[in-house]
Amino acid sequence: MQTEATMDVSSWDGTLSPHEFSIAARTLAHEWKRFNPAFPPWTWVPSQNRLGLASHNVCYLVDGYLTLEKLCIHGGPSEIHMPSQEEEVYEEIYTEKEELVDNATLVESYSCELHFYDFHIVYSAAYRVPVLYFRVYSIDGQPLVLDELKDLPACSEKLLLESKWTFITQEEHPHLNRPWYMLHPCGTSEWMKLLFSSDASLAKKGVVVELYLVSWLSVVGQVVGLTIPFELLNCLKSSLLSCCKQDAG
């Protein structure tokens, strides 16, 4: 935990520097693993684009990005499981060949409902905020389009119908150079500043860097059914404020 990474919220514009993004990324990965040990971890992937090199007129100032891959969602965003567990269930059903046609139909229906999500958190040099990229595919690896996604929360489905290409867009992944869906970062800095400014304890202690990605993901993750346990955010906040008190003492 890097408590020296602090800032004055009153004069903060809601953005992160590349170095601050790296600190926040390590904090998220560490806390996620601590609170969700049974789930796939967030992993830091070194970038092929090094400092000072440009791609598509964007200068890459961060040496990597976070990935959370093969997260399986079945039947809705509240039912998130380990991929291996889902595949084992699928295999168990599939091998029950003696159960005739009805179960064969059940297997086909069940496998079609299995969706695997890959999430990437990438630093945007243009907006100076994190951006959530994601892709979704079925159990056979076939990619899904937005219209086929039934796992999204009801509020997301409504927003997609009303403003599909301004809410979630499909863009080229800046590190992979392949089309991925992304939550557009426009407005992120404004609501992140508002989020932290509304908490007097955080504004006073200035521990926003390490809390940034955890807090940000607790909001944007809901759009795609990726939830952050309340205990994770609450415990991290308490721990950081406690460290600040000790340092002040």
Question: Any idea which residues carry the catalytic annotation?
Answer: 186
Q: What's the CA gap between 2 and 207, in Å, rounded?
A: 10
Tokens 């070194």: give the residue: 46
Tokens 């086929």: give the residue: 148
CA-angle at 166, arms to 15 and 225, nearest 5°? 75
Non-local (6+) Cβ contacts of 232 within 8 A are: 31, 32, 34, 35, 36, 214
Q: What's the CA gap between 34 and 32, in Å, rounded?
A: 5
Non-local (6+) Cβ contacts of 142 within 8 A are: none
Non-local (6+) Cβ contacts of 175 within 8 A are: 45, 47, 48, 49, 65, 120, 122
Q: What's the CA gap between 56 and 48, in Å, rounded?
A: 14
Tokens 């415990």: give the residue: 235
Nearest 5°: phi and psi at 114?
A: -75, 120
Q: Which helix (H) or strand (E) holds 210?
A: helix 208-220
Q: What's the CA gap between 189 and 191, in Å, rounded?
A: 6
Nearest 5°: phi and psi at 202?
A: -75, -40
* Entry field: residues in the chain: 249
